[in-house]
Amino acid sequence: MARISDIEKAATLLRAGRLVAFPTETVYGLGADAEDPDAVARIFRAKGRPPSHPLIVHIGGAENLGDWVEDVPATARLLAERFWPGPLTLVLRRGRRVSLAATGGLETVAVRVPDHPVALALLAAFGGGVAAPSANRFGSVSPTTASHVRAELGDAVDFVLDGGSCGVGVESTIVDATGDVPTILRPGGVTREDLEAALGRPLAVPSASRVRVPGQHPSHYAPRARVVLVEPEKVVAEAELAQELGHRVGVFLPPSFADAEVKAHAAVEVPGSMAEYARGLYGFLRELDRQGCDLIVASLPAQEGLGLAIANRLHRAAGPRPSA
């Protein structure tokens, strides 16, 4: 676990324009000073991410929001007060402090206050905004432990703050709050139902397979193994067929799928609850890669609550890959 001296070291590195990976409640972030274009450029190099793909600016508290965005509409204020610190990112009009490098040239900026003691201590010690994408190579599975980050980014990151495993396990929900009607750009740790209850009105959600945020390739959150999505009742047959064809198969089922036949397969994950599913998703995808699985057969959970974010990530993981 990170100590006070680690937090101070990390804040000093950020001030010097270096890269620091840090835990949040969702996934680990790869952070740099949001006001320093050279530091932000380092993030894109370390990830191998196209520079047009905007980052999230992490700040220490909702009361600082006005420092980072041009204006704060009433809806954004309400959502910030209700859900921060927490897994909600608000897209608003960019304030002048945020470097255009961090927004990929956009005049809007994505902002959030993470709900993790190490992240909040880092933001307090640093004092500024920290631009941070998930701390993985572009297109691959997000890290939920410090060792995931070290294994994937190695020397490309100057320092890794260890805060244990992430409690939520999928990224933040991104809401575009620039207009009169807020829209969900990416489902995540705050559920649609909770947002709708706070706003008192229904919210449109992008279909799981449709790309809504700028610069994203269809395949994202992807392990090395190919991911195929099938109906729950077809999982066994599909996995068995693939095994007969010589594949090393991993199986992913929604919570409470108590099929003994399926559990007889080698690498099967049947989480006990949706929260457990979200928390374990990326670690399990990484573990299947480590075991040398070349095919993952998965069935989507019901698209409600956290199931919406999980289904979105599985869809993206199963999306067409860039030709190698």
Binding footprint of Mg ion on the chain (CB under 5 A): 134
| 103 interacts with, out of ligand TXA, Mg ion, none, CB within 5 to 8 A per kind | ligand TXA
117 bridge partner residues: none
Nearer to ligand TXA, 92 or 236 (CB): 92
| 198 interacts with, out of Mg ion, ligand TXA, none, CB within 5 to 8 A per kind | none
Check if the beta carbon of residue 239 is closer than 8 Å to that of residue 251: yes
CA distance 312 to 171: 11
Q: CA of 146: how far to CAs of 2, 125, 162, 177, 180, in Å?
A: 11, 20, 5, 32, 39
Nearer to ligand TXA, 157 or 242 (CB): 157
| 65 interacts with, out of Mg ion, ligand TXA, none, CB within 5 to 8 A per kind | none
- Minimum distance, C-beta of residue 139 to ligand TXA, in the bound complex (Å): 10
Contact residues toward ligand TXA (CB under 6 A) are 24, 26-27, 29, 53-56, 87, 89, 91, 103, 106, 108-110, 114, 132-134, 171-172, 174, 185-186, 213-216
| 91 interacts with, out of ligand TXA, Mg ion, none, CB within 5 to 8 A per kind | ligand TXA
CB atoms within 10 A of CB 107: 10
CA distance 258 to 261: 9
Nearer to Mg ion, 134 or 178 (CB): 134
* Residue of this chain nearest to ligand TXA (CB atom): 133
What strands lie across the sheet with 249-252, from one edge to the other? 226-229, 295-298, 249-252, 267-269
- Minimum distance, C-beta of residue 92 to ligand TXA, in the bound complex (Å): 8
- Minimum distance, C-beta of residue 246 to ligand TXA, in the bound complex (Å): 35
- Minimum distance, C-beta of residue 289 to ligand TXA, in the bound complex (Å): 19
Check if the beta carbon of residue 82 is closer than 8 Å to that of residue 123: no
Nearer to ligand TXA, 134 or 191 (CB): 134
> Cis link prior to 117 (omega < 30° from 0)?
no
Nearer to ligand TXA, 299 or 312 (CB): 312
**Concatenated DSSP letters of 103-121:** TTT-SEEEEE----HHHHH
Nearer to ligand TXA, 26 or 312 (CB): 26
- Minimum distance, C-beta of residue 76 to Mg ion, in the bound complex (Å): 23
Check if the beta carbon of residue 40 is closer than 8 Å to that of residue 51: no
